[in-house]
Amino acid sequence: MCDTCGCGTPSVRTIHISQRLLDSNAAQAKHNREHFAERGVFAVNLMGAPGAGKTALLESTLGEWRGSGRVAVIEGDPATERDSLRVRAAGAIAFQVETGLGCHLDARQIHRAFHQMELARGDLLFIENVGNLVCPAMFDLGEQLRVVVTSPVEGIDKPLKYPPMFRAADIVVLNKCDLLAHVSFDVEEWKGCVAAANPHARIVLTSASRRTGIDAWLGEIEASRRAFFGQERK
């Protein structure tokens, strides 16, 4: 009923929450970023569709990691600790965030997880976001590097169909390249689609299951980390 005159007209109120939610998240992300920098922890937001091979890429990363610091992972999934168990078995410190119906991680969840992990200067933190090519692109987590993982079975046109996700990426990883012999996928055409969405994204080709391309992937991570902390010291 109308609140003012009781005329029988349905009362309608529009509540604008999206911008307020994003503003609140941005403020928390800024705090996270400052906190990571103060602690000397480099944080990587790993995004991509379900099945792109994000967890497998982390397992291969841990298998080849030769850095001085530890590798930690915050895992985001609607349910279960399956991915946390996998990366712990591979040698990482892991903390699981179960999002339920949530389709992405947010900065407050990362803040809470970070404070329970007791990371030290020089540690590398991966945040494996919920498998989704839409929502994670909207939510800054305070990370210093954003990575999108995709695979040939998703088709060449994903950068064009999901431009915000690929525009947000510093690095785009084409994983599962061992499948290229079995699917119709033109790598050069795909690179053109990535460039159309984000001409500045660095591209790395990997096959996590066979541990190919991992050296190049780790090289990009280390270069980004050195560049970030070099800028922080200036």
- Report if residue 7 sits inside a domain: no
Domain of residue 179, CATH code: 3.40.50.300
**Mean pLDDT in residue range 169-175:** 98
- Give the count of domains, the chain: 1
Residue 6 pLDDT level (bands cut at 50, 70, 90): low
Domain hosting residue 143, numbered range: 18-233
- Report if residue 114 sits inside a domain: yes
- Report if residue 2 sits inside a domain: no
pLDDT tens string 67-112: 879 999 999 999 999 999 999 999 999 999 999 999 999 999 999 9
Pairwise CA distance, residues 218 & 16, whole Å: 42
- Report if residue 5 sits inside a domain: no
Percent over 90 (pLDDT), the chain: 85
The residues, any chain, with a CB within 8 Å of residue 100's CB and separated by 6 or more, are: 78, 79
- Report if residue 1 sits inside a domain: no
Global pTM reads 0.89
What was the pLDDT predicted at 13?
55
Of residues 119 and 5, the one with the higher pLDDT is 119
What was the pLDDT predicted at 11?
56
- Report if residue 158 sits inside a domain: yes
What was the pLDDT predicted at 16?
54
pLDDT at 227 over 90: yes
Q: How far is CA 60 from CA 10, 87, 117, 136, 208, in A?
A: 58, 10, 22, 23, 6
Q: Tell me phi and psi for residue 119, to 5 degrees.
A: -80, 155
Of residues 231 and 91, the one with the higher pLDDT is 91
In the chain, the amino acid numbered 218 is L
Of residues 233 and 212, the one with the higher pLDDT is 212
Residue 4 pLDDT level (bands cut at 50, 70, 90): very low
- Report if residue 189 sits inside a domain: yes
- Report if residue 11 sits inside a domain: no
What was the pLDDT predicted at 75?
98
Can you say whether residue 131 is alpha, beta or left, with left for phi > 0 and alpha for psi between -120 and 50 degrees? beta
